[in-house]
Structure 1
Amino acid sequence: MSNSTEATSGVTTWNIDPAHTTVEFSVKHLMISTVRGHFGAVTGTIALDEANPLNSTVTAEIDVTSIDTRQAQRDEHLRSADFFDVAQFPSIKFTSTRVERDGDHYDVIGNLTIRDVTKEVVLHTSDEGRAGDPWGGQRAAFSATTKVDRRDFGLTYNQVLETGGVMVGTDIKISLEIQAVKA
Structure 2
Amino acid sequence: MTATTGAEELTGDYVLDTARTRLGFVSRSLLVVKVRGRFEEFEGSARLDGDDPSRSVVRLTIRARSIRTDHDKRDGHLRGGDFLDADRHPLLTFSSTGVQPAGPGFRVTGDLTVRGVTRTVVLDLERTGDATDPRGALRLAFAARGSLDRRDWGINWGRGMIARKVALELDVTVVRRGPG
The two structures share one fold, judged by TM-score above 0.5: yes
Per mean C-alpha deviation after superposition, the further-off stretch among 95-104 and 105-114 is 95-104
Residue equivalent to 1:140:
140
Give secondary structure in 2 for the equivalent of 1:136: coil
Q: Does 1:153 align with 2:153?
A: yes
Matched, 1:33 2:33: yes
User: 2:5 aligns to what?
Assistant: none
**Structure-to-structure mapping, 1:161-176, within 5 angstroms:** 166-176=160-170
Aligned residue for 2:43? 43
Matched, 1:90 2:87: no
Work out the CA distance in 2 between the residues paired with 1:101 and 1:138: 22
Alignment of 1:1-183 (within 5 A): 11-158=11-158, 166-183=160-177
The aligned amino acid for 1:35 is V
In 2, the alpha carbon distance for the partners of 1:34 and 1:45 equals 30
Identity over aligned pairs, percent: 36
| Alpha-carbon separation, structure 1, partners of 2:98 and 2:49 | 12
Alignment gaps of 5+ in structure 1? 1-9, 160-165
C-alpha offsets along residues 9-33 of structure 1, whole Å, 9 cap, x if unaligned? x840010011111011011111111
**Aligned partners of 1:21 and 1:42 also within 8 Å:** no
What TM-score, normalized by structure 2, do the two folds share?
A: 0.89
Deviations 1:55-109 (Å, cap 9, x if unpaired)? 1110101111111100011101100111101001111100001112212221000
Q: Is the deviation greater in 125-134 or in 64-73?
A: 125-134
What is the rounded CA distance, in whole Å, between the counterparts of 1:143 and 1:54 in structure 2?
18
Distance 1:133 1:67 in 2: 30
CA distance in 2, matches of 1:74, 1:92: 19
CA distance in 2, matches of 1:102, 1:132: 26
CA distance in 1, matches of 2:27, 2:129: 29
Which of these two proteins has the greater Rg computed from alpha carbons?
1
One-letter amino acid matched to 1:19: A
Deviation at 1:136, TM superposition (A): 3.2
Query: Residue 182 of structure 1 aligns to which amino acid in structure 2?
Result: R
Cα-Cα RMSD = 1.2
TM-score if structure 1 supplies the norm length?
Answer: 0.88
